[in-house]
Amino acid sequence: MNISTFKPLAAHRAPGTLHIQSPEDGAPVTEQSAATEVMTDFARVNAVTIRPQASLFQANETMIAQGVRLLLVTSEDGKLMGIVSTRDTLGERPMQLLHQGKGNLFELKVSDLMHALTDIDMLDFDEVRHANVGDMVATLRRLGQQHVLVMAPQGADGQARVRGVFSATRISRQLGIDLKPFQTAR
């Protein structure tokens, strides 16, 4: 890199008091705001992933450390295999598996608890770009889900991608209202 072709910016001293910007400090989100305002966009932030052979405890630790409630389960070569959430790892599913004779709590793996890719409802990013936050709330309620993934059209390499995820918890926080839990029995 030839540094002589770039222009350095001026540095400034901080004033006496500064606050830290947060995403919620921007324009307030309303039901009419663009849906992309409340989507976790993997083009801007890294997705939090885990391998299927990881333990139940590793999944919980990863979610706590990353401040998320949903992990994308990926193969060694980065292909999406499924999802696992705190509802899966901390809910009734581990106990149900134990009662079915699937070993003990320390032996449970993400692959035992995850929802396979073929069982996951997804949205199309082209449709999401034209939707608003209210549409997303209605979608999550209709699906009975806490999260929904967004699929992007095929990229330059010809591969479809997961572009992002919507979370009812994040939408609730950004709208400043308490949305009732969406998860329904299936």
Query: Are the C-beta atoms of residues 171 and 137 closer than 8 Å to each other?
Result: yes
Q: What would the pLDDT profile of 68-112 be if each residue is shown by its tens digit?
A: 999 999 999 989 999 999 999 998 888 888 888 777 778 899 999
More confident residue, 127 or 91: 127
Q: In terms of Cα–Cα distance, which of 87, 63, 89, 84 is closest to 72?
A: 84
In this prediction, residue 14 has a pLDDT band, given cuts at 50, 70 and 90, of confident
Q: Which two tokens stand for residue 114?
A: 């995850």
Query: Are the C-beta atoms of residues 50 and 74 closer than 8 Å to each other?
Result: yes
In this prediction, residue 2 has a pLDDT band, given cuts at 50, 70 and 90, of confident
Q: Please identify which residue in the block is written with the tokens 């979608």.
A: 139
In this prediction, residue 15 has a pLDDT band, given cuts at 50, 70 and 90, of confident
Query: Are the C-beta atoms of residues 165 and 136 closer than 8 Å to each other?
Result: no
Residue 42 parent element (H or E): none
For the chain, counts of helices (H) and of strands (E): 7, 8
Query: What's the rounded mean pLDDT across residues 119-136?
Result: 95
Residue 104 parent element (H or E): none
More confident residue, 28 or 124: 124
